[in-house]
Amino acid sequence: MIEVRWHGRGGQGAVTSVEMLALAAIEEGKFAQGFPSFGPERRGAPVTAFNRVDDHQIKLRSGIYNPDVVVVLDESLISLVNVTEGLKPDGVLIVNTTRSAKELAKLLNYSGKIATVDALGIARQELGVPITNTTMLGALIKVTNVVKLDSVKGPIEHRFGRIAQKNMNALQRAHKEVKLNYK
């Protein structure tokens, strides 16, 4: 089983990413859970959301306290939230940033695996808006192989309709451009 914790801000699409990943996993015949955890429910407030994906039925119904992967949609959250809290020692931190993994490791005092992608830049170019959810989903898929890239196409088309192709373009670019900075 792979457990993922997403950090974003209200309106950035973290909850949508969780939904897209769960639907893609189910599309592949896997079992999946996706659930949010809200604080103050307002645009811009920190939001945490979670996924579990497995080849076998998931009977666990608790929160996720020791994720295998942490995805950070908004780099500004790393100064507000301990994004590495509970991350398994062999886990990976995936951050939307233009900084290097070395800079992030020093800033976070973190010695684990870090992957980086300029999801904000990609989203602005491909979508015309600074919403990084599908972009970071592409990075997550590349880093973890949790689902096949093609498996998210159906859920994205269903969710985004006429702008689905723009979201797929952003997802595919992030999939190609994410830097796997494993130490």
Which of these, 69, 56, 77, 71, lies nearest to 2 by C-alpha position? 69
- pLDDT-derived band at 183, boundaries 50, 70, 90: low
Domain 2-181, what fold? Pyruvate-ferredoxin Oxidoreductase; domain 3 (3.40.920)
* Contact between 89 and 67 (Cβ < 8 Å): no
26-49 confidence digits (pLDDT tens): 999 999 999 988 665 667 778 899
54-92 confidence digits (pLDDT tens): 999 999 988 899 999 999 999 999 989 999 999 999 999
- Six token digits for residue 97: 């940033």
- In eight-state DSSP terms, residue 113 is E
Return the minimum-mean-pLDDT range out of 12-16, 152-156, 166-170.
12-16
pTM for the structure as a whole:
0.94
Domain boundaries, the chain: 2-181
Distance of CA 41 to the CA centre of its chain: 20
